[in-house]
Every structure is written in structure tokens, then in C-alpha cells.
């Protein structure tokens, strides 16, 4: 394919992918399968890599991410991001409507919208292209999160159609849908990290991540709801939103125009009931005057517009009795109190259990067995206890005490400085920790021994066959055949029996044998070191190359690795110092597992950069920053995140961080350009 053919194909694919994004995210009518879409995206990425002169800032491949942001620049809003006046009172809404009527003195039309429970964002477009994304901040200025927002596929990087202003700002809410939230929290629990309390917190935390590729994996979404600019082509808010939909923006399908106060309350009451059926969180309804001319006439207070108000729904809660509290031990040893409740209907489900989070929450609520407690669905997903009806407290009740020893193994609980959770330190003898680590070890993203799912690990543990992951590789046919366990069903689930028949045993042994070829980065993730998730394990494996080199690293060498902070580094050092873990590594080695990156797995093209460390900063002309970093690794070099005396080169692009340059000059670290780097690897 020559350059002209490549340019034509890149433009063709870009327009086709933008169209599919629009149909999927805006119109909810996909024309192709996810697999077909991914093939087109992969072809585009391959062509852009082969012909980098045709990699444009608004390419659909930018949705995949890869840019690293160390510091988020503060940006002053061109139009202040004012907050809305909030109310839980119907009378306040009536007073709002009456006040509008008195000031305007003529018929007024309103627009009612859902109030999304997410993170406010302002998107600036110039000549149909996204140029900046800024958070609300304090309303006057916010953080520039453009690199991360580019990864959200429902936000167009290039507009379609015509009629949009040359320059304008669209504001909306970045959210995390329930499905993405549940997947994210499941992954965090598997990695031994504290799960997010609700989707809003998760969305906010995701927007401020340094690695935009990781943001892309979290599957954020965005609804837009306000257009601002000096020359808007329409005279009403509703018309502008419908036009924005045609330009490629995701506008809520639940925006309606209302003529009367009764219409407004019909909308409020409908969504107060129906919100539990939505795939994302809302916490109320926003009512706006539709006419821009009338909005201008009504004006603003110092904090909010006079032409809009937010009616917030009361969180659905219900009283019920606290029967008892279980203290559950997770895979990483964290002890979590879980309340057992008298069953109560809440937000469309029957709630029997609720989290009490940790010892501080129990003490703050002063919750006791037998109390009548108020249960609420945090984020409409996770039931939690929010209060106690003290007037119904039984006489003689005693404060609920958090245990001092592990409820499973009896070891004394410990609490790390700066953390709220208590945990059991005896990971080698505590049954839930052992079983949790085994289940993590065989999971799909780790060793992928799927034939050992469905309760089989528990059977092996109960029969004393497997305590350590290394024990899996000692299993034989005669030990497994005939093992069985009966599981009692709960609710609608029937009782079931898991039995190790011949086919089951053969599949298990084949799966274990196949896992010996799993690459080192996944083995490192599988052994279950606290805070070492899938991404961290991959970075560590590729940086050090083997478990032996990782064991020799000190705190400075570890924190030099991109995205490895002191907390992760200290957790690694602590794990690697324990004799039992050293023994596990040696047993896994003797079982034939991959504890180093093999020549076949290594992406290396040469050894020209062996022993050299690079800090990459700025924007490059021929390659993306991720491609530059990959080239460093391909030729034997290592990427580190910060400049130090051990850094070989600072590879500088345009708009590089001034602090990195200053530090490199102070330490005498050589600063090289993209062209100089290319000469190093091509020579």
C-alpha cells in the first residue's frame, strides 16, 4: 500500500468508526458486532503506526488512550461553572415556578432533564474538534483532563454534520454505568484493593488517573446537557440539545418540554419510581427555563442561575432489624463487618445483608444487635446502614465490638497506619485467605485454570490436597477421582453436587499442565501480592524481566518503575522478604512455571539500549508517547517515571514538563530529541 492509498484508507476507516460510535452511543443502534468494530479499529491503528504522518489528533484510535499525565494543569473557565440550587421540597419547586412567572410576565416553557450522579465536565470544541476538557473544580477554574476524556467513546473527537458554531463549550456529566462499576470493583477486590463506594466516586477517581489507557479500560460514559458560546445558532435550550445530538453528542433520551407545574411534577414522580431501572445513577431532576432570552432576563445569583433548579430525590431507605453481624475475611486478610438483617424490600430488591465498612463506621453509628436500623442503597447498588432508631433500642443492649482476633484463624488483627481496615496477618494459615488466594491464582486473568472453578478449589482445600498454589502441580488422577461435595442452595437456587468424575479430573489436570506456559507477568499477578494488580504486574515484569531481578530491587529501583508508588513498593518488599513466599517462588520454579520473560515472549528487537533508563516527556511528531516507550523497551532500555541521578536520558518532546527539564539539567542527565533517539536505535 503506497502513501496515497494509506491516507485514503485511514480517512475511510476513521469516518466509518466515527459513524459506528455515533450509532452505538448516541442512537443505540449498532450496525456491526463488537468484534467487527474492533477489527476496524485495529486496522486503523496499524495503518497509523505504519504511516504516522496521517495520525491526526481527532483519530478514533485516541479513544484507546496511552498518554501519561503527571500533573493536571489548572484552567480558568471561560464561563463560570455555577452550581444549581438544590431542593428536596416540592414547595420550593412551586415557589421557583411562581417566581419565574412573576418576573417574566408571560408564558414560560420549561425543560426537564435527569440529574446524572457523576462528575461535571466542560468540553471545548473549535472548528468541530475537541480541544479541551476541564472539570468543574471550584467553579472558577478546574483541572485539564483532556487526555483522559478523549478515551470516552461517547464523546466525539470530531463532530459530524453541519451548523455547529466555530467555537463553543458543551457541558455534561461523566458517569460510570452500573455494569462498568461492578466490573471495576470486582477487579479491585481481586487485586486486594478497597472497592469504590459508588459509581460517582469511581468516575471521579478515574478522571484523575495518570494513565489514559487505564481510563479507557474503565468504560466511562458521558451525557451532555448544556451548550454555551458567543454565537449559538438556536434560541432555545431544547433546540440546541437536539442539534447537538445530530453533531454526534450523546444527549439523554429523557429530556422533555413542560408547559405547566403539573407537567413538571408528572416528570419528577415518574423518574422517582423509574430511576431504579436505569443502567446508571441519577439523584434527581433538573428544571430549566427553555428560552435563552428568558434565561438572560432572569440572570444569575453569585452562585447559581435563577432560571434553573435541581429537585433531588431522597435516597430510598427502609427500617429493619439488625439480627447479627458477621466479620468476613477476604483474600488479602481485610476483615469486613457485614450486617445480617431482617429481610426488607428496598429499591426493587429484597435486602438481607448490608455493609458496615469498618470499625470506625461501627463506632460512629453506635450500631448494636437488635437495633432498628435504616438501610439505604448507596449508589442504588450497595446496601449500607445509615443510622439507628434509638427510640426503639432494646433495653440492656451492648455496644458492638470489633474483634481483636481473626474470626477464622484466631490470629491477632493488625491495622496499618493511615488505613481504616483491620486485617489478619496470618495469610498462610487463615482459611478464607488461603482459599481466596487459590481462587485468584486460577482465575481467568491470572493462570486461567478454568476447569477448577465452580467450588472445586474448596473441595481440594477441605480434603487437605491444596493449601499453596504450588500444591496444584502435585495433584494426580488417583487423588482427585471420586471427590465430591454437596452445596445447599439459597433462595431460588437448588441444591447441587460437585463431583470429580473422570472427564472432570482429566480437564483439571490438562488445565494445570497448560498453565505452565502462562507468561511471567500473569504469574506475578496470580501469586496475589497486595496492591499488585494486572497492570502493575505487567509493568513490573517488563521492567525487571524476571522474579530474581525483582527480588534484588530496592525501594528506589521499584519506585522508578512507571506508576509504582511507595505503597506498592513497600508491599512488594514485605511480601518478598517472607520465608514462606520465597519457598513458594522456588516451588513454582521447580513446577516449571514462567518466572522470567522468555526470548519468545520478549518484544525486544535489539540490545542497543541495554542498561539505559529513559524518562519520556512531552508530545512527539512521529510517534505517540506510548510508541516511543515501547521502542525503548523493544531495544533493551527501561522506562522510568521520574528523573534521577540514575537516569541515562531525558527523551524530550514538545511541551515537556519544565520541572523534568530543570531536574535533568541540575543532575547532568543528557536531554535528547526524538530525532536523536531514532538515530540511537537505527544506527
Are both 637 and 560 inside the same structural domain?
no
Final residue belonging to a domain, choices 517, 538, 573 = 517
Report if residue 597 sits inside a domain: no
Are both 357 and 300 inside the same structural domain?
no
Are both 273 and 128 inside the same structural domain?
yes
Element (H, E) at 617: strand 613-617
Mean pLDDT of the chain: 87
Q: What is the pTM of this model?
A: 0.56
Are both 477 and 513 inside the same structural domain?
yes
* Angle, CA of 568, 569 and 570, to the nearest 5°: 95
Q: Are 415 and 230 in contact (CB under 8 A)?
A: no
Tell me which residue range forms the domain holding 531. 520-590
Q: Looking at residue 493, what DSSP letter applies?
A: P
CATH number at residue 488: 1.10.150.20
Catalytic-role residue among 40, 49, 102, 115: 115
pLDDT of residue 437: 92
pLDDT higher than threshold 70 for residue 27: no
Are both 489 and 525 inside the same structural domain?
no
CA distance 544 to 530: 19
Instruction: Name the β-bridge partners of 335.
Output: 329
Residue in 47, 36, 43 with CA at minimum distance from that of residue 3? 47
List, for residues 331-365, the tens digit of each pLDDT value.
Answer: 888 999 999 999 988 766 788 999 898 899 999 99
Residue in 288, 275, 253 with CA at minimum distance from that of residue 93? 288
pLDDT of residue 290: 96
Are both 93 and 197 inside the same structural domain?
yes
pLDDT of residue 232: 86
Report if residue 605 sits inside a domain: no
Element (H, E) at 353: strand 349-355
CA distance 421 to 358: 6
Query: What pLDDT band is residue 66 in, cutting at 50, 70 and 90?
Result: low
Are both 467 and 573 inside the same structural domain?
no
Examine the residue annotation and report whether 115 is marked as an active-site residue of this protein: yes
Report if residue 608 sits inside a domain: no
3-state secondary structure of 318: strand
Q: Are 524 and 511 in contact (CB under 8 A)?
A: no
pLDDT of residue 133: 93
Report if residue 440 sits inside a domain: yes
Q: Are 303 and 82 in contact (CB under 8 A)?
A: yes
Across 479-528, where does the E strand assignment appear? 484-487, 496-499
Grid coordinates representing 225 are 446537557
Are both 109 and 224 inside the same structural domain?
yes
CATH number at residue 393: 2.40.50.140
Please state the separation of Cα 187 from the chain's center in Å: 9
pLDDT of residue 263: 95
Q: Where is average pLDDT lowest: 16-25, 88-97, 535-544, 557-566? A: 16-25
Are both 467 and 483 inside the same structural domain?
yes
Which of 41-45, 66-70, 354-358, 655-659 ranks highest by mean pLDDT?
354-358
pLDDT higher than threshold 50 for residue 380: no
Instruction: Name the β-bridge partners of 457.
Output: none
Report if residue 607 sits inside a domain: no
Are both 185 and 291 inside the same structural domain?
yes
Are both 171 and 234 inside the same structural domain?
yes
CA distance 479 to 483: 8
Are both 398 and 464 inside the same structural domain?
no
CATH number at residue 89: 3.30.470.30
Provide the domain count of the chain: 6
| Greater pLDDT, 175 or 445 | 175
First to last CA, the chain: 27
Where would I find the H helices in 275-409?
292-298, 359-365
Q: Looking at residue 402, what DSSP letter applies?
A: P
pLDDT of residue 496: 75
Report if residue 598 sits inside a domain: no
Please give the backbone phi and psi of residue 321, each rounded to the nearest 5 degrees, phi first: -95, 135
Q: Are 132 and 168 in contact (CB under 8 A)?
A: no
pLDDT higher than threshold 80 for residue 193: no
Q: Are 288 and 100 in contact (CB under 8 A)?
A: no
CATH number at residue 619: 3.40.50.10190
* Three-class secondary structure assignment of 658-676: HHHHHHHHHHCCEEECHHH
Amino acid at each position: 500500500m503506497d502513501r496515497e492509498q494509506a491516507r485514503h484508507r485511514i480517512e475511510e476507516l476513521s469516518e466509518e468508526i466515527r459513524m459506528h460510535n455515533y450509532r452505538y452511543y448516541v442512537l443505540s443502534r449498532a450496525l456491526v458486532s463488537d468484534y467487527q468494530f474492533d477489527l476496524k479499529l485495529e486496522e486503523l491503528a496499524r495503518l497509523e503506526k505504519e504511516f504516522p504522518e496521517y495520525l491526526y489528533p481527532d483519530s478514533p484510535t485516541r479513544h484507546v488512550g496511552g498518554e501519561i499525565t503527571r500533573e493536571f494543569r489548572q484552567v480558568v473557565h471561560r464561563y463560570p461553572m455555577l452550581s444549581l440550587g438544590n431542593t428536596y421540597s416540592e414547595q420550593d419547586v412551586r415557589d421557583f415556578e411562581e417566581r419565574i412567572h412573576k418576573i417574566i410576565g408571560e408564558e414560560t416553557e420549561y425543560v426537564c432533564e435527569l440529574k446524572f450522579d457523576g462528575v461535571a465536565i466542560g468540553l471545548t470544541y473549535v472548528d468541530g474538534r475537541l480541544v479541551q476538557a476541564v472539570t468543574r473544580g471550584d467553579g472558577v477554574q478546574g483541572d485539564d483532563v483532556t487526555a483522559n476524556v478523549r478515551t470516552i467513546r461517547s464523546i466525539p473527537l470530531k463532530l459530524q454534520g453541519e451548523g455547529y458554531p466555530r467555537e463553543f463549550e458543551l457541558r455534561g456529566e461523566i458517569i460510570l454505568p452500573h455494569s462498568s462499576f461492578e466490573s471495576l470493583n470486582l477487579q479491585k477486590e481481586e487485586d486486594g484493593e478497597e472497592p469504590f463506594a459508588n459509581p460517582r466516586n469511581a468516575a471521579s477517581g478515574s478522571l484523575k488517573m495518570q494513565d489514559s489507557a487505564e481510563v479507557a479500560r474503565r468504560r466511562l460514559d458521558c451525557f451532555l446537557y448544556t451548550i454555551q458560546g458567543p454565537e449559538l445558532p438556536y434560541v432555545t435550550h431544547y433546540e440546541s440539545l437536539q442539534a447537538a445530538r445530530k453533531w454526534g453528542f450523546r444527549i439523554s433520551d429523557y429530556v422533555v418540554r413542560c408547559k405547566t407545574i403539573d407537567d413538571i411534577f408528572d416528570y419528577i414522580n415518574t423518574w422517582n419510581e423509574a430511576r431504579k431501572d436505569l443502567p446508571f445513577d441519577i439523584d434527581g431532576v433538573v428544571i430549566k427555563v427553555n428560552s435563552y432570552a428568558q434565561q438572560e432576563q432572569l440572570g444569575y445569583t453569585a452562585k447559581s442561575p435563577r432560571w434553573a433548579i435541581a429537585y433531588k430525590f431522597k435516597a430510598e431507605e427502609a427500617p429493619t432489624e439488625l439480627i447479627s453481624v458477621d466479620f468476613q475475611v477476604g483474600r488479602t486478610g481485610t476483615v469486613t463487618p457485614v450486617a445480617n438483617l431482617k429481610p426488607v424490600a428496598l429499591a426493587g430488591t429484597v435486602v438481607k445483608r448490608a455493609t458496615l465498612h469498618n470499625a470506625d463506621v461501627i463506632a460512629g453509628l453506635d450500631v448494636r444487635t437488635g437495633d432498628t436500623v435504616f438501610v439505604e442503597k448507596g449508589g442504588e447498588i450497595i446496601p449500607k446502614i445509615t443510622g439507628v432508631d434509638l427510640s426503639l433500642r432494646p433495653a440492656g443492649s451492648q455496644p458492638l465490638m470489633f474483634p481483636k482476633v481473626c474470626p477464622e484463624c484466631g490470629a491477632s488483627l493488625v491495622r496499618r497506619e493511615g488505613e481504616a481496615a483491620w486485617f489478619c496477618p496470618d495469610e498462610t494459615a487463615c482459611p478464607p485467605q488461603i482459599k481466596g488466594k487459590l481462587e485468584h491464582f486460577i482465575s481467568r486473568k491470572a493462570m486461567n485454570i478454568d476447569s477448577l472453578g465452580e467450588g472445586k478449589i474448596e473441595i481440594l482445600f477441605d480434603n487437605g490436597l491444596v493449601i499453596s498454589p504450588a500444591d496444584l502441580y502435585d495433584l494426580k488422577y488417583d487423588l482427585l477421582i471420586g471427590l465430591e461435595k454437596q452445596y445447599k442452595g439459597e433462595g431460588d437456587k437448588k441444591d447441587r453436587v460437585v463431583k470429580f468424575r473422570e472427564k472432570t479430573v482429566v480437564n483439571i489436570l490438562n488445565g494445570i499442565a497448560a498453565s505452565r506456559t502462562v507468561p511471567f507477568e500473569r504469574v506475578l499477578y496470580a501469586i496475589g501480592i497486595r496492591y499488585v494488580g494486572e497492570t502493575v504486574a505487567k509493568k513490573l515484569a517488563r521492567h525487571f524481566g524476571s522474579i530474581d531481578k525483582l527480588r534484588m530491587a530496592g525501594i528506589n529501583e521499584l519506585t522508578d518503575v512507571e506508576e509504582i508508588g511507595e505503597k506498592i513498593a513497600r508491599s512488594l518488599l514485605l511480601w518478598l522478604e517472607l520465608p514462606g513466599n520465597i519457598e513458594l517462588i522456588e516451588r513454582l520454579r521447580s513446577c516449571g512455571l514462567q518466572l522470567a520473560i522468555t526470548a519468545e515472549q520478549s518484544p525486544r528487537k535489539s540490545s542497543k539500549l541495554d542498561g539505559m533508563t529513559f524518562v519520556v516527556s512531552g508530545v512527539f511528531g512521529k510517534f505517540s508517547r506510548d510508541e516511543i516507550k515501547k521502542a525503548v523497551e523493544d531495544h533493551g532500555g527501561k522506562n522510568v517515571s521520574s528523573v534521577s541521578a540514575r537516569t541515562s536520558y531525558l527523551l524530550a518532546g514538545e511541551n515537556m514538563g519544565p520541572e523534568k527539564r530543570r531536574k535533568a539539567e541540575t543532575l547532568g542527565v543528557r536531554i535528547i530529541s526524538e530525532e536523536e533517539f531514532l538515530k540511537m536505535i537505527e544506527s
